[in-house]
Structure 1
Amino acid sequence: MKATVAGAPVSFGVFEMTPEGAETVAADDMLQILAEAGYDGVDLGPVGYFGRGDQLRRRLANFGLELAGGWVQLPFSDDEAFQAALPSLTDALRVFSDAAESSPNRLPLPTLADDGSAARRAAPGRGQTEDPLDDEGWQRLATNAAHAAHLVRASGFEPTFHHHAGTFVESPDEIDRFLSNVDIDLTLDTGHLFIAGGDPLEAVRRWGGRINHLHLKDVDLAELKRVLAAGGGMPEVWSSGAFVAFGTGDIDLPSVMAAIDERGFEGWVVVEQDVLNGSDLSLPTFQQQRAHDQRLNRDALSAWV
């Protein structure tokens, strides 16, 4: 497979939902763990976490890593809120440009995602019944997503769209509707697809020609179903330990990777094992656990890439 494997800060509890003031793994420690485990790239994480400009380029070069992509969440179904949020996209694109100046082998993909709603985030996988989006909302979502994609392409990058639990593009039917209305290809996230009742192998068959980015997760389905049945929202899913190391969950990794390979996939494979830090964590122990799991994850992909 002509793909490139990247790690992600979210696997170390560093992402937009990290509690304010929480103790987190240092950027250089994280990159060293990923480099030593055999990764070739890393996702951006919160804008600025790895630095900007020369600091970002030096940091990536020091560990032999390239930037794979990065999360840009925008309220696509709300025109006013979307316009107000566009500076965050502009800021992220500057950071992508900073990283790309080092002439990478593979450009990063700005990863666009919908912002969803509070009702949807509180009911992951049940959004179509808890907070359905009407036809006018879908029109706004498609129009604004297309505008964001235009801005990404004007900056020299190819966008990708991430379906995500707790947003207005979460279920297989919603993904179908998005892809039929917007000229942006798909980030397939195996974990978030499980939350929305989808199957990753069927997803490759269904959308394979539109998948240009892969967020690969393994999931303990029994734990995930327990959290969702108890009424848990996305914070509860992230903190539950439902996202596990490859080989310890329920994803059929060989079948999914074989199907991806058959499609001639040549993009980034970003390994994500979403974790939400607890307030009482021991950082050294937590870091050791994260390093152990990221080695398992990288080794599990060695048969393909």
Structure 2
Amino acid sequence: MTTALDRIRVGSAPDSWGVWFPDDPRQVPWERFLDEVAEAGYAWIELGPYGYLPTDPARLTDEVDRRGLRVSAGTVFTSLHRGPAVWDATWEQVGRVAELTRAMGARHLVVIPSFWRDDRTAEIVEPPELTGEQWAHLTGGMERLGREVRERYGLDIVVHPHADTHIDTEEHVERFLDATDGDLVDLCLDTGHYAYCGGDSVKLIETYGERIGYLHLKQVDPEILADVVANGVPFGPAVQRGVMCEPPKGVPALEPVLTAAQGLGVDLFAIVEQDMYPCEPDRPLPVARRTRRFLRSCGA
């Protein structure tokens, strides 16, 4: 018998509809995303790239309310390892997203570190390993971000380990967690990205459970991943090869992850993110329906 995962709040995101950018002719229109995410059976969504969904709170509230949806989080990209010089530009972006996130009644801001490899061209733009000074900038900057976002907007930041960023592997994730204050900075554990980078999500939840503030659910195809790793394929092209696959066809198995998360005894969002940019416009809805059905079979 499946255990009821009553602490897990399941949702989806524009990413599951192939949306990576605020505006791109290869992406579905935002109205279609909202229609279809509701039709697929999800109650919660993320804002996605700022500017993809309407940024006027009154209009967006009307659009999500009409479809029976609620917003769980906004997302920002940061490069805080570069030091104090980037703070003002970072805060300008964060402020816009945080304001809309708060206005939509959400409580979380997902923070993604900047890529060391260009996601479109695959050009390596920075060394994949940070210096000690850059680590200090990164951890100190995230703590400052967590403090100021909470003070000004009442939101909690959850930092998202991500392929081709400086917070990716188990070693880097643990180093980041050990060097940051758990009262200011929690983690958005993305099961797909963590597996992509060789990490074990269940082990992370069991070891650093008090730092898990949010979940992104996705899986990787082990065969495609093996080829990606062997040939040093960047994340963007790897997604186009189908490295992130529809559950339950990949790894990690999501049921043990959800069970471990339920065991933390706190309410957690678990937002499906099926990376597939770019994709045919008719592809996301059937995948989303099947994924929602699968998660219900796990008790979520």
Considering the TM-score relative to the shorter chain, is it more than 0.5? yes
Unaligned runs of 5+ in 2: 1-5
Whole-angstrom CA distance in 1 between matches of 2:71 and 2:107: 6
Determine the structure 1 residue equivalent to 2:278.
277
Residue 236 (structure 1) aligns with: 237
1:18-66 per-position Cα deviation (integer Å, ceiling 9, x unaligned)? 8x74232121211121112211111111112111221111111011111
Q: Equivalent residue of 1:159, what SS?
A: strand
Matches within 5 A, 1:20-169: 21-52=24-55, 53-79=57-83, 80-100=85-105, 107-118=106-117, 122=122, 131-154=128-151, 155-169=153-167
Q: TM-score, normalization: structure 1?
A: 0.87
Is the Cα–Cα contact under 8 Å of residues 44 and 70 in structure 1 kept in the other structure?
yes
CA contact (8 A) 1:123 1:166 kept: no
TM-score for both structures, normalised by structure 2: 0.89
- 1:143 and 1:119 map into 2 onto residues whose CA distance is 25
Per the TM alignment, residue 188 of structure 1 is displaced from its structure 2 partner at its CA by 0.5
- Separation (CA, whole Å) in 1 of partners of 2:236 and 2:87: 24
Distance in 1, matches of 2:268 and 2:240, equals 29
Task: Name the count of aligned residue pairs.
Answer: 286
RMSD over aligned Cα atoms:
2.1
Runs of 5+ consecutive residues of structure 1 not aligned to the other structure? 101-106, 279-285
- Rounded to whole Å, the distance in 1 between the matches of 2:213 and 2:92 is 25
Counterpart-to-counterpart distance in 2, 1:123 and 1:205: 36
Give, in whole Å, the separation in 2 of the partners of 1:265 and 1:152. Answer: 22
* Superposed displacement of residue 81, structure 1: 2.5
AA of the residue aligned to 1:172: E
